[in-house]
Structure 1
Amino acid sequence: MLVAIALGHLGALYLLGKLLAPDLTGGIEREVVAAFSLEAPPRPPPPPPPENEPEPDEGAQGSPGKEAIPQPVTAPEPEIALPRPSPAPQASSTGAADRSGARESGNGTGAAGGGPGTGSGNRGGGRGGVAVTRPVHISGRIDDARDYPVPPGGRQARRGTEVIVRVIVGRDGRARDCSVYRASPDPQADAITCRLVEERLRFRPAQDAAGNAVAAPFYWRQRWF
């Protein structure tokens, strides 16, 4: 009760002070508040930035090891020599000889030596070497429009077209074995061209490396204007 009565008297005095001397009571309030005010402690300074640390040394490469060279090992020679079977011939033979195969000499069949037979090689007494020059057209012409019949639609239907035929020029300079290499729109005219090339045209035959005349192909182009 005494404490309550004392607090009541203090409150009454404070109110009278506010009414009669407001400046005095305001200063007392500020001092009391300042005495009991709590300020936040200052923040600690930030830590310094970390220094760049050097990367750890991974170590240098070690020296390579020495190359190992295996000791040579040879198979021992057999005490008993093994017999070596003779190779079988590549082609069968009906003769009575005890050997056969491609040998330069011997009494078997199939010897691969030089001979007087004919053939297309660079040696031998026969004809038929490889051509090193081409046949050359030297005479004969196919330029008469009357040799070709009028196609359906008139001659203008064939105008501006062409046919290429292939022939074999023999050693006598004549063309044989004609065939159509590139056809025209008129099959009848292509067949007539083959016949006229074999009948009318003459050629200088091709030659081999020795200057002998040999058969060789030749291509003839026939155009219609």
Structure 2
Amino acid sequence: MADRQGAQQARGRGGFASARRRPRLGTLALVALLHVLAVYGLAKAFAPDFTGSVEREVMEAITVTVTTPPEELPDPEPEPDPGAAGEEGREATPREVTAPEPPVRVQPPVPVPQASSTGTAASSGARERGEGTGAGGTGTGTGSGQGGGGAGGGAVNKPVHVSGGIDDARDYPVPEGGRAARRGTEVIVRVIVGTDGRASNCTVYRPSPDPEADRITCRLVTERLRFRPATDAAGNPVPAPFYWRQRWF
């Protein structure tokens, strides 16, 4: 019994040893790669120039140069001839245009004038004259004068001085400072010449520097001067204004 068990144990040990698996190919490659990397690292540390030259040779061996073919450019267009005719343009196509219709303006109706009547009323427009003042005809006056019963209109011919005069040396008193103080000055007076040719209603129109001389001028004009009176269109004498200028020399 004991011998049988010992034999089984011995057989079991021998079978385990014979049943141990072989290492895989991938594992061996990994272990080899690790050894190579370890050796490369030691060489990189202790001989960097050597490892650098090896790296360059390896990179040059695996570098692939790719050459790009040159790009084909289009042929240049020929330059146009300066004397050649241009290309034909597109034919113009006329477009139909419709003009808008003008608006129609309606003229307002023209009022028709009233026809004259043949009635007997005094206010009718067909009568030559009515009972009012605006019917036309002639009145009691001539209508040509300044008043309804006057003889005519205003003066057509102005009054004219015919006689009388004023002496500036004898008719005026000597002013203070002598006659030279009044020399070169003048006064203009306005009078009304009546139908008898005499002047009246004298007023100073443009005074001189000497008021006393102006008053003397008014008195002398009304006393001494005589005029041919103004006349109207019919030749009748009418009152009219006259302006007398007195200068001192």
Q: TM-score, normalised by structure 2?
A: 0.51
C-alpha distance after superposition, 1:91-123 (max 9, x if no partner): xxxxxxxxx852669xxxxxx84325898259x
Deviates more, 1:148-157 or 1:173-182: 148-157
Q: What is residue 160 of structure 1 aligned with on the other side?
A: 184
Could you tell me which of 203, 217, 233 is aligned with 1:193? 217
> RMSD value over aligned CA atoms?
4.2
- The answer to whether the 8 A contact 2:142-2:151 is kept is no
- The answer to whether the 8 A contact 1:118-1:127 is kept is no
Specify whether residues 71 and 195 from structure 1 end up closer, same or farther in structure 2 by C-alpha distance, changes over 3 A only: closer
- The answer to whether the 8 A contact 1:128-1:214 is kept is no
1:136 CA displacement: 1.3
Could you tell me which of 27, 35, 39 is aligned with 1:5? 39
SS across alignment from 1:194 = helix
Paired residue type of 1:63: P
Specify whether residues 144 and 101 from structure 1 end up closer, same or farther in structure 2 by C-alpha distance, changes over 3 A only: same
1:102 aligns to 2:133 (yes or no): yes
Percent of aligned pairs sharing the same letter: 55
1:166 CA displacement: 0.5
Paired residue type of 1:15: D
Specify whether residues 16 and 116 from structure 1 end up closer, same or farther in structure 2 by C-alpha distance, changes over 3 A only: closer
- The answer to whether the 8 A contact 2:43-2:51 is kept is no
Distance across 1 between alignment mates of 2:106 and 2:162: 75
Could you tell me which of 118, 139, 143 is aligned with 1:114? 139
Specify whether residues 16 and 183 from structure 1 end up closer, same or farther in structure 2 by C-alpha distance, changes over 3 A only: same
Specify whether residues 69 and 117 from structure 1 end up closer, same or farther in structure 2 by C-alpha distance, changes over 3 A only: closer
1:63 aligns to 2:100 (yes or no): yes
SS across alignment from 1:146 = coil
- The number of residues matched between the two structures is 165
Q: What is residue 143 of structure 1 aligned with on the other side?
A: 167
Specify whether residues 69 and 211 from structure 1 end up closer, same or farther in structure 2 by C-alpha distance, changes over 3 A only: same
Structure 1: 4+ residue segments shifted above 3 A: 10-14, 59-62, 116-119, 124-128
SS across alignment from 1:211 = coil
SS across alignment from 1:15 = helix
Paired residue type of 2:43: H
Specify whether residues 141 and 8 from structure 1 end up closer, same or farther in structure 2 by C-alpha distance, changes over 3 A only: farther
1:207 CA displacement: 1.4
Q: What is residue 175 of structure 1 aligned with on the other side?
A: 199
SS across alignment from 1:180 = strand
Specify whether residues 145 and 13 from structure 1 end up closer, same or farther in structure 2 by C-alpha distance, changes over 3 A only: same
1:221 CA displacement: 0.5
Q: TM-score, normalised by structure 1?
A: 0.56
Q: What is residue 128 of structure 2 aligned with on the other side?
A: none
Query: Normalized per residue, which structure has more helix?
Result: 2
1:185 CA displacement: 1.0
Q: Extract unaligned runs of 5+ from structure 1.
A: 19-23, 37-58, 75-85, 87-99, 106-111
1:41-52 equivalent positions in 2, closer than 5 A: none
